[in-house]
Structure formats: C-alpha cells, structure tokens
Homo-oligomer: A and B are copies of this chain.
Amino acid sequence: MPKLIIGVMGAGEKATALDIKNAYELGKLIADRGWVLLTGGRKAGVMDAASKGAKASDGLTIGILPGKDTTDISEAVDLAIITDLGNARNNINVLTAKVVIACGMGAGTASEVALAIKNGKKVILLTEDISSKEFFTNLSPENVLIANNARDAIALVRQIVAQSN
C-alpha cells in the first residue's frame, strides 16, 4: 500500500514572503500527519520552504526535478526524482500527489492547477491572487477548493482523503 503523498506547488524565485511562510507551515503540518511531501524540488521559494518545514517535523520529502541532475536541489529534499523533462514534469507532480496545494500563484503553478483539474485531481488554492481563484473555481467548481491559511488547507486535505477512502 503506497504512502499518502501531498503536493505543495508554488513559485521558486518569484515566491512572496507570505507564500514562503505558508509553504513552510504546510510542509510541517503535512509531516506532522505522517504524510509524504512532494514538491518541484528546487532550492528556491515554495519548494525549498515546504521541504524545510517537512524536515522540521521529521517528514519524508520528494522533489521532482526538472533538470538532468541534482543541481539546484533543496537541501531538504530526501528523494530526488530526476526527470530531465523541463516543465513537462509538472504533470508528474500532479499525478503523483493525492491532493495538490497551490501555495501562491505564477505561470508554473497555474499550469499545475490546470493539469490537476485536467487529470481529475482535487486542488486547493492558498493565494492572495484573487483572479486565479475566480478563474479556477469557475473552470472546475468540483475540483478546486479555497483555503485561507495553511491549517485550513490541511483540514481540506483531510476531508478529501477521508472521502476518497
């Protein structure tokens, strides 16, 4: 029986201070519940912060890297999955995660939210970007949920996981 993997997606260099704070807390809460954290694996922004948060609670962290080696990997990633797929690896991120949490918003994150919906996955938006929330909830009311903070997002993950068992 495979372990439950929760994805936290978000910007690298363009992440805001709030995104990074939320990502750290998400990673910590995911690890506290015994879930495995999945991110894009780079040593930047949301990926790095979420992974560090998970390690602060002794969690297990997976990084799905876009390049062909571990250059730029977050030091808090335990398991480096090396894809050499560039942005096509975003589809692996959302397929592998049981639930996807979008922490902040940007072009890469938007592609992951859209791919999650396309693949029928539930995705939780935790962002101050109002137009993304309007667009994606409009696009797929049944798959997109809104969280106001990290604890809220984790509560939604628990509900989704409970319903799918």
Contact = CB atoms under 8 A, between A and B. Distances in A.
Contacts of A107: 114-115, 117-118, 139-140
Contacts of A91: 84-88, 90
A15 B21 CA distance: 40
A84 B79 contact: no
Contacts of A75: 1
Interface string A70-108: 100101011111111111111110011000000001111
Contacts of A5: 79-80
Contacts of A89: 88
- Of the candidates A73, A82, A111, A138, the one having the most CB atoms from chain B within 10 angstroms of its own CB is A111
Contacts of A139: 105-107, 110, 132
Contact of A85 (B64, B88, B119, B135): B88
A101 B2 CA distance: 23
18 contacts: A2-B70, A2-B73, A2-B78, A2-B79, A3-B79, A5-B80, A36-B79, A83-B92, A84-B91, A84-B92, A107-B118, A107-B140, A108-B118, A110-B110, A110-B135, A129-B138, A132-B135, A132-B139
Interface of A: 1-3, 5, 36, 62-64, 68-70, 73, 75, 77-92, 95-96, 105-108, 110-111, 114-115, 117-119, 129, 131-132, 134-135, 138-140
